[in-house]
Amino acid sequence: LPFETTVDTSASFSDKFIKVTNAVKHTHGKNDDVHSHAGTAFTTWLDLRQAAAQAREAANAIAEEWPDRKDTVMTKF
């Protein structure tokens, strides 16, 4: 998707991302190259505060895209 059409729902807590530096090297089968999944953990839902922040950002984006539905969206959030 073009960046302009996406919403970064984790921008408000990106400083709290979990950095994976010593990931275990492995394969997913005999024909797979050895690799690891180092970098940034993508499972923000493991921290419910981060999940709530993402939900809030999604609700804000929906309310901004459809202002006539803002009250409904924010009430249900």
Parts of the chain with a pLDDT under 70: none
Range of the domain at 62: 3-76
The pLDDT value recorded for residue 59 is 96
The pLDDT value recorded for residue 62 is 95
The answer to whether 21 touches 38, Cβ cutoff 8 Å, is yes
* Type of residue at 52: A
Q: How far is CA 49 from CA 8, 31, 52, 72, in A?
A: 16, 40, 5, 23
Record the pTM.
Answer: 0.66
User: In this predicted model, what pLDDT tens digit does every residue of 28-42 receive, in sequence order?
Assistant: 988 889 988 888 877
The pLDDT value recorded for residue 53 is 92
- For the chain, the domain total comes to 1
